[in-house]
Chains A and B, each alone.
Chain A
Amino acid sequence: MMDVKRVISTIERKYIINNLKKEERVDGRGLWEYRDFKIDTDMVASAEGSADVSLGETRIITGLKYDVGEPFPDLPNEGVCTIMAELLPLASPLFERGPPDEQSIELARVVDRGIRHADCVQTKKLCIKEKEAVYILFVDMYVINYAGNLIDCGGVSTLASLVSAHIPEGEYTENGIEWTGNYLTGEDIVNELPLVLTYGKIEDIIFSDPNLPEELVCDGKISVSVTEDKITSIQKSGAATFSLDEIRMLGKKSIEIGRELRNKLNFWQYKVKIE
């Protein structure tokens, strides 16, 4: 059992800050170093795509389901992709039962925006017949263990479950929508691979991938979503303020770290092959 507290003692807070000032982290990492990602995909037989992603001790299991419905009137030939997150009370004593709270909504929204504005999901390919029928994708994240930085873990988890997708392909006929016998896979629906990267800020020190104690003592966080060469969404949260120079630096840094992580994680290895 890990010692999880809602409030961190002053002495522990000082220890974390003093370490950061020496460019060291309490878990031995460098300032811009990520914990290890561990990814397993397509392990949920009932889902049309799934991913089990660990970032250090943080673990999120994401699944993809689909529905066929009418498109929005202003986007008659585009499908819909919705993202939801649930902070299960089994994941941490800090999480409580009940309807989604601010933290789970922020997680879902930040991940969703990162994906939405990056030209990641090809919504036009999710159209079965214009104005009549489109796919509605549900990507649902379930937090299994919470040890800081849910957003980055959730982003990778969502992307990996989309890449591992295998959705039955429908055809519009007189008798309704019928299965063609083929599947739409991750390769068909995913274009860009956006990553969301979160930084913590304590006093004037900024660092990547805050772990749980760092997250509990930090003044604030900033999450930057990036594709190969573009910034696609940013969310600042918590009470910290960032200078213009810091934000410029983080924009540049995010593209660099994003490229490195994207290469390392090699998402396309998780696409599902259907015979």
Chain B
Amino acid sequence: MVLIIKDEYPEKLFREDGKRLDGRDKTELRPLKMEVGVIENADGSAYLEWGNNKIFAAVYGPREVHPHHLAKPDRGILRVFYRMATYSVFDRKRPAPGRREKEISMIISDCIEPVLFLELYPGTAFEVFIEVIDADGGTRCASTTVASLALADAGVPMKSLVTSVAIGKIDGEIVVDLSGIEDKAGEADLPLAITWFNGEISLLQFDGAMDVEEFNKCLTLGKEAAEKIYQIQLDALRKKYISIQESVSGSSNASGGEE
């Protein structure tokens, strides 16, 4: 790949005024927007914009398992397929799925499985397709968050939603929600996800170097940040039903059926 503009990292990740390069405080999240029911054909779907990340997720199922030998006679299976569009990154990505995409698909699947009642769906599969249209750091966290929202939109019985966020260390400071540049140029990256029915960690990866105190701080900040994101997920789900309710009550008003 020969590109005319080179992908260069800045030397400092904090501005003179102590804020991060995109103007955020250390514990501030990037702007987040979520919407459910965006793909008409799917049983459930969700769309998320998190900073420059743009991600679609669609759920199909419970449906027949292909290839058939993957089906389990006593329970359903969850299959997650995380993919990135060729144009979602700085260097064009090859169209075929790579090792990274397969690994992320697996960790998202393992992360979400604890909240589902798969034992109620023997011999079937829930398939979650995640397509990253634009990527800017933290796509695995964003994908986990949007995938759990799509499952909820599909009406799949769940113990709770799952929320994910990355905490990291840049220029020696612990910060919440790494952007693409911070992820590449920073010192440490700790994506985590919380299953709210038990408040426990269901996805945890860590790359970098931190002392124990810093690590503990990360976990605390991670939980606080996840709580904020969880509220946005709940609002996105509510919004769909409020709009349905409004359209229904609107028509009953027209026919004089107001209470």
Contact = CB atoms under 8 A, between A and B. Distances in A.
Interface string B56-74: 1110100100100000000
B95 A46 contact: no
A17 to B, nearest CB: 24
Contacts of A68: 2-4
A90 B42 contact: yes
Most buried by A among B58, B81, B87, B129: B87
Contacts of B129: 88-90
A43 B131 CA distance: 15
Contacts of A69: 2
A168 interface: yes
Nearest to B44: A1
B86 A138 contact: yes
Interface in B53-104: 54, 56-58, 60, 63, 66, 81, 83, 85-90, 92, 95-96
Contacts of A50: 87
A126 to B, nearest CB: 12
Most buried by A among B83, B85, B135: B85
B4 A177 contact: yes
Contacts of B66: 96
Contacts of A138: 86-87, 92
Interface string A1-43: 1101000000000000000000000000000000000000001
A112 interface: no
Interface in A141-173: 142, 144-147, 168-170
Contact of A91 (B39, B43, B89): B39
A90 B131 contact: yes
B52 interface: yes
Nearest to B97: A97
Interface string B107-143: 0000000000000000000010111011110000000
Contacts, number: 110
Interface string A60-93: 0101111111000000000000001010111111
Given A68-B3, A179-B4, A142 B42 contact: no
Given A44-B54, A145-B40, A140 B95 contact: yes
Contacts of B133: 44, 61, 63, 142
A255 to B, nearest CB: 32
Contact of A90 (B57, B89, B136): B57
B81 A97 contact: yes
Contact of B40 (A2, A84, A97, A177): A2
B60 to A, nearest CB: 6
A178 interface: yes
Given A63-B86, A89-B81, A1 B42 contact: yes
